[in-house]
Amino acid sequence: MTHPEFIPVSAPALVGNEKKYVLDCMESAWISSNGKYIDLFEASFREFCRTKHAISCSNGTVALHVPLVALNVQPGDEVLVPALTFVATANAVTYCGARPVFVDSEPETWNLDPQEIARKITPRTKGIIVVHLYGHPVDMDPILAVAQAHNLFVIEDAAEAHGAEYKGKRVGGIGRVGTFSFYGNKIVTTGEGGMIVTNDDALAAKMRQLKGQGVDPNRRYWFPMIGYNYRMTNIAAAIGFAQMENVNWHMERRHEVSRWYREELQGVKDISWQPEMSWATHANWMFTIVLDNQRVDRDKVIADMLESGIETRPGFYPMHMLPPYQGTQPGSFPVATRLGTRSISLPTWAGLSRNDIRRIGEALQKCLNT
């Protein structure tokens, strides 16, 4: 019997002009951090997010670091971040010498709980980073209200949420700054890459300067500040621009895959998945389930799925469980802990077929029943 074809948890969909534009970079010799595709990619993404500025950079983590530096986050400051996120969110705060303060999740959206924010604010709190986890928007209005009352900045970590909407507004352009990742598993990819978006002219100029070694834009080789080499290459931007030409297709395919999963898994006992709130448009970066039956061993399910030729991923471990952050602050994070330790991300990418989703669903049910 032939073993079924392997289904990875994620794969890029390079279905447009990616190769053509990369070859154009090579033939023109514009392969570094200057070239027409930088401008084209930034312009297309700015329009996509409905913001005034889009600033390309080398990856999603530095996309978080740059605005924190630009907003003058320093040692001794505190920045509120969700306990349940990818580690880059907390690490970017730590790079500044500041302290990430973890906030538990709300069970409805799995995102940072607005009700928990106020009690975490201290005189040292400088801002809030929200994360649109797995592509579902955060409930932004109550967070923005608290931030305004306490004079705090809000950064949207939208690394997983390209095209998601909150009450009709594209994520990324709702807070002071929005940040995106274009890693190979993202809805829009450049292999590695990131983007910062904002409507703040002065902040945009400062962030552009910081990501380019701090060079004076009007005086070559003059550096009035300490900056970073966080620039994107023209080759990466060429891939990104080609992806943006088909961005609606990329988004629609994710929505379709998510719909197929909901159809396939409807009625399966002892699992649940991230809902889509009435005020939200989910980007469906990852279709992630929670094993509600505590007797089911999550890691065994992941191993059994792999044995059947299907790659999955555990959910993100909450920040307070990771060695660099263990014991750094008091309190417990019960919702984040449950979601992080009981969740599995199923294969989610544009190239999946309805038959693939059926096979994944059948394999999952078999693993849950053994």
135 found inside a domain: yes
- Report helix angle 60-70 to 88-95, nearest 10: 40
**Do 84 and 111 share a domain, yes or no?**
yes
**Do 316 and 354 share a domain, yes or no?**
yes
Query: Which structural domain range is residue 221 located in?
Result: 18-245
6 found inside a domain: no
CB-CB contact of 133 with 108 (8 Å): no
How many structural domains is the chain composed of?
2
**Do 238 and 251 share a domain, yes or no?**
no
Write a three-state SS string for 36-57. Answer: HHHHHHHHHHHHHHCCCEEEEE
9 found inside a domain: no
**Domain end marker among 245, 261, 285:** 245
**Do 238 and 297 share a domain, yes or no?**
no
Backbone torsion region of residue 123, taken as left when φ is above 0, otherwise alpha when ψ lies between -120 and 50, otherwise beta: alpha
**Do 257 and 327 share a domain, yes or no?**
yes
Q: Which two tokens stand for residue 281?
A: 């448009």
Question: Residue 1's pLDDT is what?
Answer: 36
290 found inside a domain: yes
Say which CATH number the domain at 81 has: 3.40.640.10
4 found inside a domain: no
Say which CATH number the domain at 260 has: 3.90.1150.10
2 found inside a domain: no
Which are the contacts of 280, defined by CB distance < 8 A and separation ≥ 6? 109, 136, 137, 164, 165, 166
**Do 135 and 57 share a domain, yes or no?**
yes
**Domain end marker among 207, 225, 245:** 245
**Do 203 and 350 share a domain, yes or no?**
no
**Do 236 and 291 share a domain, yes or no?**
no
Dihedrals phi, psi of 50, to nearest 5 degrees:
60, 45
Our separate counts of H helices and E strands in the chain read 12, 14
Question: Residue 248's pLDDT is what?
Answer: 98
What is the reported pTM?
Answer: 0.96
Question: Residue 2's pLDDT is what?
Answer: 46
Q: Look at residue 351 and give its three-state secondary structure.
A: coil
**Do 114 and 237 share a domain, yes or no?**
yes
**Domain end marker among 245, 268, 291:** 245
**Do 95 and 56 share a domain, yes or no?**
yes
10 found inside a domain: no
**Do 223 and 298 share a domain, yes or no?**
no
Q: Which helix (H) or strand (E) holds 78?
A: strand 78-82
3 found inside a domain: no
CA distance 314 to 208: 36
Question: Residue 3's pLDDT is what?
Answer: 55
**Do 286 and 184 share a domain, yes or no?**
no
Dihedrals phi, psi of 231, to nearest 5 degrees:
-80, 150
How confident is the prediction along the chain (370 residues), in pLDDT tens digits per residue?
345 799 999 999 999 999 999 999 999 999 999 999 999 999 999 999 999 999 999 999 999 999 999 999 999 999 999 999 999 999 999 999 999 999 999 999 999 999 999 999 999 999 999 999 999 999 999 999 999 999 999 999 999 999 999 999 999 999 999 999 999 999 999 999 999 999 999 999 999 999 999 999 999 999 999 999 999 999 999 999 999 999 999 999 999 999 999 999 999 999 999 999 999 999 999 999 999 999 999 999 999 999 999 999 999 999 999 999 999 988 899 999 999 999 999 999 999 999 999 999 999 999 998 7
- Round the CA-based radius of gyration of the chain to a whole number and report it: 21
Which are the contacts of 103, defined by CB distance < 8 A and separation ≥ 6? 80, 81, 82, 83, 112, 113, 116, 117, 120
CB-CB contact of 58 with 213 (8 Å): no
The total number of residues written for the chain in this structure: 370
CB-CB contact of 163 with 137 (8 Å): no
